[in-house]
């Protein structure tokens, strides 16, 4: 009988997600798979629910050879030659997790990363992204209401609370829709108009953010139209203006007069420079929902913000950094924040962040585990996508050579380590491992 383990999450106090929900565990047990679930006092699905589904509750996961989790696992957790599936946050060569990757190599484990589970077209199959966008947008509207209140400006956004305080996504959506009705009838304060929310990216995270925004009276404008929106006579304080930025809006070729080509941008980002700064003065809220790594130009730099604030207090009030790369595309995101302490104000002159809503500068909401603010819904959607693959992953013979390894193709593409060795697609990580 194949045994799999579900690990309890301990990286964050309020991480309550699971990779597999009880109803899917029941299905696996009925297929003859033993599912061991590590006890957890805080998981959104209770231990008793897993037990009722036929899982075996355990304190440790010494027996299963295949262990599933959500976030990173502690250095001392890994056991020799086992298989682990989780978000390892190593694929960009993240320096803070290179010691973790090295430890997994020493233990000769098989590491599969959800982030790289894709179909033949390279589209991700198992993800929390939509829920990061949903929670990120709700949190950013809440943050805007609180920040404007600090400035003595009352807005309908003060009716919105932080996402995790709602019992369900539906409850949160109802409140946002009520705020939308209020904006439609009473309008936003004139000094905030035109109220513009910019969103970088157009993938699952961006779609989640737009799903929440669609509950407000939204008018979409193009990046080009945004630049002249304030000069128009017909903008309304009873609308929220939405702008979605694509790669060609963020960057332009260094070679003058050259047309933007997406494939060239992906393959040779060094041939491009950032051009996003022209849009920043026109935004009220910036939602950063795109993929980024350090080969690409940043979209908001410390230097630019200092110059912007020197002129006068800018329109930009909140940055919802859903991407949440420390010192990344939003340079002022020095770290991801926690659900229980979700926002900070970055002072562009001292270049220091202060947690909370007070202070001079721009407010940043950068919760690192946004889908965990909607733990039940996000876990269920994730589990829906994962469960059918589990029997084949559990049955695979990991002692075979990588070439002949009989793991489902999307998971084989996502295998960073096979028996402790970097697989061909991930050999680039050797460079990042130097010195660890």
257 pLDDT more than 90: no
Mean model confidence pLDDT for the chain: 95
436 pLDDT more than 90: no
Kindly indicate the confidence band of residue 342, based on its pLDDT and cuts at 50, 70 and 90.
very high
In angstroms, the first-to-last Cα distance of the chain is 39
312 pLDDT more than 90: no
435 pLDDT more than 90: no
The answer to whether the beta carbons of residues 106 and 436 sit under 8 Å apart is no
Cα 40 to Cα 6, 37, 43: the distances in Å are: 10, 9, 6
Burial 174-199 (b: 16+ CB within 10 A, else e): ebbeebbebbeeebbeeebbbbbbbb
**What are the pLDDT digits (tens) for 314-337?**
999 999 999 998 899 999 999 899
Strand partners, 421: 418
Query: What CATH homologous superfamily does 3-117+377-433 map to?
Result: NAD(P)-binding Rossmann-like Domain (3.40.50.720)
Kindly indicate the confidence band of residue 18, based on its pLDDT and cuts at 50, 70 and 90.
very high
Token pair 């913000």 is found at 305
Residue 272 has which token pair? 């491009």
293 pLDDT more than 90: no
234 pLDDT more than 90: no
- CATH number for 129-373 (one of 3.30.1540.20, 3.40.50.11540, 3.40.50.720, 3.40.640.10): it is 3.40.50.720
**What are the pLDDT digits (tens) for 34-72?**
999 999 999 999 999 999 999 999 999 999 999 999 999
Domain segments of the chain as ranges:
3-117+377-433, 129-373
Report the SS3 class of residue 131: helix
CA dist 60 and 74 (Å) reads 13
Under DSSP, the state recorded for 257 is T
CA dist 264 and 221 (Å) reads 27
pLDDT at 294: 86
**Arithmetic mean of pLDDT, 108-130:** 94
**Nearest one of 269, 282, 276 to 301, comparing CA atoms:** 276
Please state, for a pLDDT cut of 90, what percent of the chain lies above it.
Answer: 92
CATH topology identical between 3-117+377-433 and 129-373: yes
* Phi-psi map region of 227: left, alpha, beta (phi>0 left; psi -120 to 50 alpha): alpha
pLDDT at 416: 98
Chain centre distance of CA 170: 20
Cα–Cα–Cα angle for 106, 111, 116, nearest 5°? 140
**Nearest one of 48, 47, 66 to 109, comparing CA atoms:** 66
**Arithmetic mean of pLDDT, 166-184:** 97
290 pLDDT more than 90: yes
**Arithmetic mean of pLDDT, 133-154:** 98
pLDDT at 232: 87
């Amino acid at each position: 009988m194949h045994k799999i383990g579900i690990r309890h999450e301990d990286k964050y106090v309020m991480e309550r997600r699971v990779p597999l929900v009880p109803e899917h565990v029941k299905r696996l047990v009925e297929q003859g798979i033993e599912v061991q679930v590590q006890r957890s006092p805080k998981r959104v699905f209770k231990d008793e629910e897993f037990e009722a589904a036929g899982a075996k509750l355990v304190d440790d996961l010494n027996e299963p050879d295949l262990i599933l989790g959500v976030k990173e696992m502690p250095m001392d957790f890994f056991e020799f030659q086992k298989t682990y599936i989780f978000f390892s946050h190593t694929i960009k060569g993240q320096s803070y997790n290179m010691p973790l990757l090295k430890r997994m190599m020493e233990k000769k484990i098989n590491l599969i990363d959800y982030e790289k589970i894709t179909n033949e077209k390279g589209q991700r199959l198992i993800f929390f992204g939509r829920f990061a966008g949903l929670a990120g947008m709700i949190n950013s509207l809440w943050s805007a209401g609180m920040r404007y209140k600090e400035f003595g400006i009352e807005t309908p956004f003060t009716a919105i609370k932080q996402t995790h305080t709602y019992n369900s996504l539906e409850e949160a959506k109802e409140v946002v829709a009520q705020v939308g009705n209020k904006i439609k009838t009473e309008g936003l304060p004139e000094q905030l108009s035109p109220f513009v929310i910019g969103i970088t990216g157009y993938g699952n995270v961006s779609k989640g953010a737009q799903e929440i925004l669609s509950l407000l009276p939204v008018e979409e404008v193009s990046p080009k139209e945004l630049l002249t929106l304030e000069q128009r006579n017909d903008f309304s304080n009873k609308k929220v203006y939405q702008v979605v930025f694509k790669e060609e809006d963020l960057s332009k070729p260094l070679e003058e007069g050259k047309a933007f080509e997406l494939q060239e941008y992906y393959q040779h980002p060094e041939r491009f420079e950032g051009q996003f700064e022209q849009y920043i003065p026109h935004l009220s809220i910036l939602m950063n929902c795109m993929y980024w790594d350090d080969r690409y130009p940043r979209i908001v730099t410390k230097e630019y913000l200092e110059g912007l604030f020197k002129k006068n207090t800018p329109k930009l009030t909140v940055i919802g950094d859903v991407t949440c790369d420390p010192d990344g595309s939003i340079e002022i995101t020095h770290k991801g924040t926690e659900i229980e302490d979700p926002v900070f104000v970055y002072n562009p002159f001292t270049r220091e962040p202060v947690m909370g809503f007070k202070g001079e500068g721009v407010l940043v909401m950068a919760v690192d585990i946004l889908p965990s603010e909607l733990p039940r819904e996000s876990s269920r959607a994730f589990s829906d996508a994962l469960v059918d693959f589990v029997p084949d992953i559990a049955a695979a013979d990991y002692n075979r050579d990588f070439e002949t390894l009989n793991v489902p193709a999307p998971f084989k593409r996502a295998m960073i380590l096979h028996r402790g060795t970097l697989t061909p697609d991930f050999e680039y990580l050797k460079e990042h491992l130097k010195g660890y």
